[in-house]
Structure 1
């Protein structure tokens, strides 16, 4: 299949790693990146809290996969998959945070300009704690990391973009040099808060 026949795929982790479970999306896309390599059409990105800066990337994507912590009002750690035009409404369930408001706008503008991805899959995990500044992922959310990554792989395989597992021990540079490596980040957190 020629490159031109396959569309661009964007796998985006959004959230803020400085606020406990808000970091889920970013951690999930990092975990995916560390374990798998993808065909050239697939771009993995730590979207962080960039909001509107992500618009051109979303407009260019035929398939968009989003990892994010979503307050669905479900038990903490619940993994829920949402598709296509249902995604924006879920992103705004509780207006949890600015990054989600910003990303909802990105999807809205993408739709208005007629350049909405043909397929959108939101892989969301119900957070437990969004309020601990400098906190790391809570246990219920962390335990869903593997299933979240598996859900993304399953979806990408269905869409015709099967990844390859990376060779053991060969972990690439993280997606974004400034992003904080989880183990190092946790090692630096003093026990018992401040």
Structure 2
């Protein structure tokens, strides 16, 4: 089996909560810009948690892109490798999906998964609690750096990468495509920014 076989590039996060969507938006751009051999899968993992287990078990190299609270200045890009990854996925959770994915990694290893390599490309978020919000400009500005880190890892693994001449199909649901999703966002006066206002009302009134 070649070293490049069964590589999963996985973006996780929730695009409905501002910078929490970093990992998903990063793999979307990666997929739109580059083509890979059949041994490489680029996936929008969203917040699927334990449902990602079979995909993780099927790969020999796992590259994760995610918003991670490292306790560092916003926009800081930090790479974490191999056995250190599960601890970082759960130490300071940005949201519940990270606890779910930490569980995926631990379960996969308990079931006999022995990856050659795990790489977490994590970015410190600036804003999370903005329901329906977009990535902050600072976070958007670091997506290309995150992609560069992924490409450098693939180069290290001798995986051929080709720049696309035309747009690829969307990774996720068309309604959540970044341009369409963000251009259709209601004004702040029309939509609550901190969650579903029905559950934030003072029911005792």
Report if aligned partners of 1:10, 1:44 keep a CA contact under 8 Å in 2: yes
Say yes or no: does 1:182 pair with 2:159: no
Report if aligned partners of 1:14, 1:25 keep a CA contact under 8 Å in 2: yes
Structure 1 counterpart of 2:155:
157
Structure 2 counterpart of 1:50:
48
Structure 2 counterpart of 1:27:
25
Change (3 A) 1:182 1:67: same
- The TM-score with structure 1 as length reference comes to 0.93
- Matches of 1:152 and 1:123, distance apart in 2: 8
Say yes or no: does 1:172 pair with 2:184: no
Report if aligned partners of 2:74, 2:124 keep a CA contact under 8 Å in 1: yes
Report if aligned partners of 1:58, 1:117 keep a CA contact under 8 Å in 2: no
Q: What is the CA distance between 1:191 and its match in structure 2?
A: 4.5
Structure 2 counterpart of 1:139:
137
Which 5+ residue runs of structure 2 have no aligned equivalent?
Answer: 192-205
Q: SS where residue 160 of structure 2 aligns?
A: coil
- Matches of 1:158 and 1:128, distance apart in 2: 31
Which 5+ residue runs of structure 1 have no aligned equivalent?
Answer: none
Q: What is the CA distance between 1:184 and its match in structure 2?
A: 1.4
- Matches of 1:164 and 1:41, distance apart in 2: 14
- Matches of 1:176 and 1:96, distance apart in 2: 22
- Matches of 1:178 and 1:46, distance apart in 2: 12
Change (3 A) 1:179 1:40: farther
Instruction: Kindly provide the CA deviation profile for residues 132-176 of structure 1, in whole angstroms up to 9, marking residues without a partner as x.
Output: 000000122111011001110111111111210001xx1011112
Structure 2 counterpart of 1:99:
97
Q: What is the CA distance between 1:192 and its match in structure 2?
A: 4.3
Structure 2 counterpart of 1:119:
117
Structure 1 counterpart of 2:197:
none
Instruction: Kindly provide the CA deviation profile for residues 72-99 of structure 1, in whole angstroms up to 9, marking residues without a partner as x.
Output: 0000000001000100111112122111
Q: What is the CA distance between 1:178 and its match in structure 2?
A: 4.4
- Matches of 1:142 and 1:111, distance apart in 2: 33
In the alignment of these two chains, the number of paired residues is 189
